[in-house]
Structure 1
Amino acid sequence: MLRVLFAVIYTALTFGANGAAMAGPAEAAALLSGDMKKLVIHPEPKPLPDVGLLGLDEAPQSLSDWRGQWVVANFWATWCAPCRQEMPSLDRLEAAMGGERLAVVTIATGRNAVPAITRFFDEAGVTRLTALRDPKSGLARQIGVMGLPVTLVLDPEGREVARLIGDAEWDAPEALAVLGAMIR
């Protein structure tokens, strides 16, 4: 909890120091440090295909359901050890920044049974994240997800503006600063 509080204060001070500064993906690039050095910010947003996903209740869903918000979309699997390490930080990111402007959405890619996903979240202490499934890896294949985890940052139009391959501490001060610059 102290770490999240520190990160929020750090982020506020970072952006409060120059309120007139413009923010966005390009400006966020200047803040890349720590795990965020692995974040590739695209010079131009990349449109995503509107491939159908499933909720844990088998209801059809799509990333377009979050249009109007920034989205941190994490591709993962129940068998993925780095995913197990990373998932709690995504849950804390949702607690720290989730709301009207930003949502953290997880997408279990490939064969991930609903009971295994539920057990994974329970064991990792994850309580806040939206869990979707891409059971045939249709979306993952179309956008070039070759290994796991992979996290995309989507702008409010649903376009990919950044990608991080591998795991990261998504609630670290540098991650909160980068995401704060993007959504500001």
Structure 2
Amino acid sequence: MGIVKSAVLYTALVLGANAANAQAADISALREGDMKKLVVHDDPRPASDKSFSDADGGDHSLADYEGQVVLLNFWATWCAPCREEMPALDSLQAEMGGDDFQVVPVATGRNSLTGIRKFFEEEGVEALPIRLDPKQALAREMAVLGLPITVLLNRAGQEIARLQGDADWASDSARAIISEVISAGGDS
């Protein structure tokens, strides 16, 4: 009986690994332009359970988004490349955000709420929520070593890809990658 259970478990693990590797290959094939900087992981990685807050002081965590594909963007008001890519992230959220997908921008470090609101207003950012990580607990645990960093999470809340630096998140390539992860369903 133990051998049969072991064989079934092994088969399930192999099939799951093969599905994750297949999706990594599919995503990699869609990378063009800025998306060539996107590093796609062969195997999903755990994400942080550290909390962050909203503009009203409410607590949130990545677990709030379980079941959705998430594009987690770490940024700061003082970071020029972060400011440059924010309108594209807003456009991506306006176009694709919903029950299956969310863009979650997290202002990490010292960012005044007034400064964030002013920046969003100046740039016409309307579809994105304000999320804050003032003590950088989430950023530290997610190994954010510079800004901007954008992390793609699958429906199980696992990191499947990461991009360091700014990118055009409203590009055809970015939308195709997000669509591929959404359509894959499941946890891969």
In the aligned structure 2, how far is the partner of 1:131 from the partner of 1:158? 20
- What is the rounded CA distance, in whole Å, between the counterparts of 1:176 and 1:25 in structure 2? 16
Q: How many residues align?
A: 162
Give the whole-Å Cα distance in 2 for the aligned partners of 1:26 and 1:65: 28
**Any idea what the Cα deviations from partners look like across 1:89-121, whole Å, max 9, x if unmatched?**
000001111111100010000011111111111
Aligned residue in 2 for 1:7: none
| In 2: Cα distance, 1:25 partner to 1:95 partner | 26
List aligned pairs for 1:134-173, cutoff 5 A.
Answer: 134-173=133-172
Q: Are 1:25 and 1:182, in contact at CA under 8 Å, matched by a contact in 2?
A: no
Asked if 1:71 is matched to 2:63, the reply is no
1:182 maps to 181
Where in structure 1 do 4 or more consecutive aligned residues deviate above 4 Å?
none
Alpha-carbon distance in structure 2 between the residues aligned to 1:75 and 1:131: 12
* Alignment correspondent of 1:16: none
Amino acid at match of 2:151: L
Find the counterpart in structure 2 of residue 86 from structure 1.
85
Q: Distance in 2 between matches of 1:152 and 1:49?
A: 12
Q: What is the CA deviation profile of residues 125-159 of structure 1, one whole-angstrom value per residue up to 9, with x for unaligned ones?
A: 10001221110001111121011100000011111
Shift of 1:43: 0.6
> How high is the sequence identity, in percent, across the aligned residues?
50
Aligned residue number for residue 36 of structure 2: 37
Aligned-residue offset at 1:124 = 1.3
Normalised by the length of structure 2, the TM-score is 0.83
Q: Which runs of 5+ in 2 are unaligned?
A: 1-21, 184-188
Deviation readout 1:42-72 (Å, 9 max, x if unpaired): 1111111200101011111111111110000
Measured on the aligned residues, the alpha-carbon RMSD in Å equals: 1.1
Question: Deviations along 1:16-47, whole A, 9 cap, x unmatched?
Answer: xxxxxxx8343111111100000001111111
Structure 1 match to 2:121: 122
Indicate yes or no: 2:137 matched with 1:132. Answer: no
- SS of the residue 1:48 aligns to: coil
Is residue 101–residue 183 contact of structure 1 (8 Å, CA) maintained in 2? yes
Partner-residue secondary structure (3-state), 1:72: strand
Distance in 2 (CA, whole Å) between partners of 1:131 and 1:65 is: 15
Equivalent-residue separation in structure 2 for 1:25 and 1:99 (angstroms): 23
**In structure 2, distance between residues paired with 1:38 and 1:130:** 25
Q: Which runs of 5+ in 1 are unaligned?
A: 1-22
Structure with greater Cα Rg: 2
* 2:140 aligned partner, one-letter code: R
Aligned amino acid, residue 138 of structure 1: A
Which one scores higher on RCO, CA 8 angstroms, separation ≥ 6? Answer: 1
- Looking at structure 1, the residues matched to 68 and 24 of structure 2 have their Cα atoms a distance apart, in angstroms, of 14
Is 1:98 matched up with 2:108? no
* Counterpart contact for 1:27–1:182, Cα < 8 Å: no
TM-score scaled by structure 1?
Answer: 0.85
